[in-house]
Structures are given as C-alpha cells and as structure tokens.
Structure 1
Amino acid sequence: MSRYRFVFSWRWIRLHVLIWLILIPSFIGLGMWQRSRYHERTAENAVIRTAMNAPPVPIEGADAVGAAVPQKARWKQLTLVGTYDAAHQFLARNRQENGNPGFFVITPMTLSDGTSVLINRGWIATVSSDQQQSPAIPAAPAGTVTVTGRLQQSETKGNTGIRDVTAGLPAGQISLINTEALAAKTGLQLRGGYAEVITSKPADASQITAVDAPSLDEGPYLSYWFQWWLFCVIAAGGWITIIRREAQHRDREAAEAAEEDEYEDGEDDDEPVAEDEPDTEDEDAAATPTTATATATATAPAP
C-alpha cells in the first residue's frame, strides 16, 4: 500500500475531487435526465398508438367549450361536421414542412350546436424571401364539411417553447394556436384545443399540405442514457489507470536509482590499490656492504 501513498498528496486529491465529485456525478445526472426523457417519449408514443388505433369519436363528447385538453386526450381522432368560418381564419407563422418555411392555415369550424372549433387545415409555403409576408389563403370547402382530425392541446409557450409575438405581426398572423387568445379575438365559443385535419369531405384546396402523422420514433434518448453512464465507467477506469501508471513510473524511477547506486559502489570496490615503491636510497645503502665485502675478499693474499 505504501507504493500508493502519493495519492494522498494535495495534487492527487484535486484529481479525486474532479473525477468523483464533479465528472461522475454530472455524468450520472445527465444519464438520469436522458432516462426520464426516454420514458416520457415511450409513454407519449403509447398514447399516440392507442389514439391512432381507436376509431374516431364525435367532438361533442370529447372536447367542451373553454375546456383544456388533457395530455391523455391529445391525438384522439375526432369526427367533426360543420361549416368553415372564413371570416375568422388565421395563419400560424414559422411552421415548417420538410425544412421549408411556411404557415399553418387555421380556420374555425362552426358546429351544429353553434359552438366552434379551430381546425388546422394544413401547411402552405411562404410566397417570398420575406417570411413575414402573408400568402393568399386558399378558400375552404363551402357548405357542410365532414372532417376527421387529431385533437391537439391549445398551444402555449410552456408546451411549445414558442414565444408569443402575435402583437407585432401583420394582421391575420399568429404565433401560437391558442384557444383562449383566439376566442377573445374572434368572440367565438371555441372548444378547447384544436384539430389537425386527417381527411376532409369535400377535399380541401390542393395548395394545402396536410399535417404529417406524428412520428413514433423513440429518439436518441436511450443511446444517450447509456452513453453518459458509459462515460462514468470510462472516468473511473481512467482514474485507476492514471494511478497505476504513476505507481509504475515511480517504481521504475526507484529501481533505476538503486541500480545507479549499486553501480557506483561497485566501481569504488574494483579500483586497484597502488603498491609502495621501493626507496632507491635504501636499496643503495643495503647494497654497499655487500660490495665492500666482495672487494676485500678478492684482494686478500692467499694463505
């Protein structure tokens, strides 16, 4: 454990805080948010499938005057029979079809009981590069019209994210298909929400493109959910890897330092020791008596 003692230093504590108190909790939170979005989309798709598979019902029994459309009633298929009120129709701006800018044509339909319901007849394109300019609205079918439509909630900034700038728009244009605001503007007894046309008898103008059926795609939320949690695993694995590599690096440095110390000690042990050189003067002194003896012996007379 002593080889990992460095992880308690201040520099490494900052890394632990970054990984375990900032990154990983953030990744977990983002994964939980994507998880909730996935479950919301799944639940919404289930509501749409149920509504689309159910037979249409008369609007009189599904939507009351001034009542809010609940979330569970959205996409319910309705049958509406009445006449269009072209005097009170509007263009809902900034609506796209296949990426092209345009407007939704919103025309009230007066029912047999005198109440009205807003009908989204479909989409028409802008007429120029000026997206504020109102195109000509194709005439609605005359006389009694039978429409099969999808019930939608009254639009607000909260459920669409669209800011209401109707007050600054050209006459006849609106930002939101808001039942309460349009009831006040027209004086009509509007039922809650509005209906998107699926079929119309007689058929509407050919210039109008029907609103597409809702997509049942679950979106990228499931993959994002697991992606954020995978980042948690990667962050934890990276933290472990960094610590292990640092420990290995320190071990190598310690081993290299030990080898250098051992090598230096070995060089000191192998250095030869110098022998004392004989003293020349002493050698000469030692040799002198011997020479004298030899000379005396050579000159002595024979007996």
Structure 2
Amino acid sequence: MSRYRFVFSWRWIRLHVLIWLILLPSFYGLGMWQRSRYHERSAENAVIKTAMNASPVPIEGADAVGAAVPKSERWKQLTLVGTFDPAHQFLARNHQNGGNPGFYVITPLTLGDGTSVLVNRGWVPTVSTDEQQSPPIPAAPAGTVTVTGRLQQSETKGNTGIRDVTAGLPTGQISLINTASLAVTTGLRLRGGYTEVISMKPGDSSQITAVDAPSLDEGPYLSYWFQWWLFGVIAIGGWITIIRREAQHRDREAAEAAEEDEYDDEYEEDEEYEEEDDDTEAETGLEPEPETAVASTAVPSAAVTGAASGTATAPAP
C-alpha cells in the first residue's frame, strides 16, 4: 500500500470527490430517472393495449358529467350516439400531422339524455404561414351519428405541460381541450373527458384527417437508463486506471533515480581508487621507467659480454 500513499494527498482527494461525490451520484440519479420514465411508458402502453383489445362500451357508464377521467381509464374505447352541435365547436391549436402545423376540430356531441361530450373529429392544416388564422371548418355530419372513439382526460397544464392561453387567441381557438372551462364558455353539460374519433357513421368530411392511433413505442428510456449507469462504470474504471498509471510512473521514476545513484556511487569509487594509487606512488618515490630507457641499456650490456669473452668485432669494410 505504500506505493499508493499519494492518493491521500490533497490533489488526489479532489479527484476522489469529483468521481465519488459528484459524477457517480449524478449518473446514478439520471439512470434512475430514465428507469422511472421507462416503467411509466411501459405501464401506459399496457393500459393502451388492454383498452385497444377490449370492445367499445357506452359512454354513459364510463364518463360522467363534471367527473374527472382517471388515468387508468384513458384510451378506453367508447360508443357514442347523438347529434353534433356545430354552434359550439372549437379549433385546438398547435397540433401537427406529419410535421405540418394545424388544428384539431373539437365539436360537442349532444347525447340522448341531453348531456354533451367533446369530440375530437380530427386534424385540419393551417391556411397560411400565420398560425393564428383559423382555417374553415368542414361541416359535421347532420342528424344522428354513431361514433366509436377513445376516451381522453381533460387537458390541463398539469397533464400536458402546456399553459392555457385561450384568452389571448382569436375567437373559436383554444390552447387546451379543457372540459371545465369549455363548459363555462358554452353553457353545456359536458362530460368530464373528451373522445377521439376512431370511426363514425355517417362518415366525416374527407378534409379532416383522423387522429393517429397511440404509439406503443417504449421510447429511448431503456437505453438511456443503461447508458447513464455505463458512464458510472466508465468513471470508476478511469479512476482506477489513473491511479495505477500514476503508481507505475512513480515506480519508474524511483527505479531511474536508483540507477543514477548506483552509477554515481561506482564513479566515486573509481575516483577514490585512482586517488589511492597516486598517493601510493608519491609515498614510495617510484616512477614507471619509459620503454626507451630499457632499450638503450640493452646494447652496452651486450658489448660488455663480448669483451669479457675476448671476441673482437671487426669493423665493417
């Protein structure tokens, strides 16, 4: 553990705080948020599937006057029989179809008991680049009609995230399909929710595009959920890798420093040995004889040897 003692320094403590107290809790929290969104979407899709597989039921037993539609009852398929009231119809703005701006046509349907229900007949496009301008509304079928539709909750800022700005819009336009406010505006006894048309007899105008069936796509929440947690695993792996590389770097520096110290010690020992040799020669007074001196003394010795043997060397002619 001594090689990792540096991780307790202040510089490294800041890294630990960044990883463990900021990044990892953030990644975990974001992953849990995407997880909750995924489960919400899955639960909603289960409700839609159940509703779409069930047979339509009369609206009288599913949506009462002034009552709020529970979220669990949304998308329930209903059967409505009555007559349209075009005198109190509206255009719900800011709705697109295939990326094109337009309006939903909202027309009350008066039932046999005298109560009314708002019916979303479908989508019509804008007539110009000015989205404030109301397009002409195709006439609703006259007489008694039979509508099969999907039950929806009354729209509020709470369940749509859209602020109600109907008061500032041109006459006949609304920003939210809010049954409570429209009941006050029209004076009708409106039931608590509204209905999206699936089919109608007799049929509606061809100029109105039916509202698409709900999508059962679960969205990107599952992949986002695992991505955020994968970022957490990567952060931990990066933290470990940085610490290990720093330890390896410090080990290499220590090894290089040790080699340099060993080289310096050997160099000092060599210098001390040479100094000892110099001191020894100085004390004895001996100096090494040059090789030329040895050669010059060799010739007289030979001459002396010849003289002793009585041999004379004749000079060269």
What TM-score, normalized to structure 1? 0.90
Equivalent position SS for 1:145: strand
C-alpha distance in structure 1 between counterparts of 2:234 and 2:189, whole Å: 59
C-alpha distance in structure 1 between counterparts of 2:286 and 2:13, whole Å: 71
- In the alignment, is residue 205 of structure 1 matched against residue 205 of structure 2? yes
Give 1:296's aligned residue: none
CA-to-partner distance for each residue in 1:216-251, whole Å, 9 max, x for gaps? 011111111111111111111111111111111111
Alignment of 1:284-303 (within 5 A): none
Displacement of 1:269: 1.7
C-alpha distance in structure 2 between counterparts of 1:208 and 1:279, whole Å: 125
Give 1:141's aligned residue: 141
Displacement of 1:266: 1.2
CA-to-partner distance for each residue in 1:141-176, whole Å, 9 max, x for gaps? 111111100000000011011111111100000000
C-alpha distance in structure 1 between counterparts of 2:60 and 2:164, whole Å: 29
C-alpha distance in structure 2 between counterparts of 1:199 and 1:266, whole Å: 99
C-alpha distance in structure 2 between counterparts of 1:264 and 1:135, whole Å: 94
Give 1:290's aligned residue: none
Look up the equivalent residue of 1:21 and give its one-letter code. L
- In the alignment, is residue 276 of structure 1 matched against residue 292 of structure 2? no
Displacement of 1:47: 0.3
Equivalent position SS for 2:282: coil
Give 1:219's aligned residue: 219
Give 1:295's aligned residue: none
Aligned-pair Cα RMSD in Å: 1.3
Give 2:166's aligned residue: 166
Alignment of 1:1-303 (within 5 A): 1-271=1-271, 272-273=274-275, 274=278, 275-276=281-282, 278=285
Which runs of structure 1 show a deviation greater than 3 angstroms over 4 or more consecutive aligned residues?
A: 277-280
Look up the equivalent residue of 2:171 and give its one-letter code. A
The number of residues matched between the two structures is 280
What TM-score, normalized to structure 2? 0.86
Displacement of 1:270: 2.2
Give the gaps of 5 or more residues in structure 2. 288-317
Percent identical among aligned pairs is 83
Displacement of 1:265: 1.2
Displacement of 1:267: 1.4
Displacement of 1:276: 2.7
C-alpha distance in structure 2 between counterparts of 1:117 and 1:93, whole Å: 19
C-alpha distance in structure 1 between counterparts of 2:101 and 2:263, whole Å: 81
Look up the equivalent residue of 2:230 and give its one-letter code. L
CA-to-partner distance for each residue in 1:68-91, whole Å, 9 max, x for gaps? 000010000000111100000000
Give the gaps of 5 or more residues in structure 1. 281-303
C-alpha distance in structure 1 between counterparts of 2:264 and 2:91, whole Å: 92
Computing the radius of gyration from Cα coordinates, the structure with the larger value is: 2
Look up the equivalent residue of 1:44 and give its one-letter code. E
C-alpha distance in structure 1 between counterparts of 2:98 and 2:193, whole Å: 25
CA-to-partner distance for each residue in 1:82-118, whole Å, 9 max, x for gaps? 1100000000000011111100000000001100000
Equivalent position SS for 1:194: strand
C-alpha distance in structure 2 between counterparts of 1:101 and 1:240, whole Å: 52
Displacement of 1:137: 0.5
Equivalent position SS for 1:244: helix
Displacement of 1:279: 8.9
Look up the equivalent residue of 2:188 and give its one-letter code. L
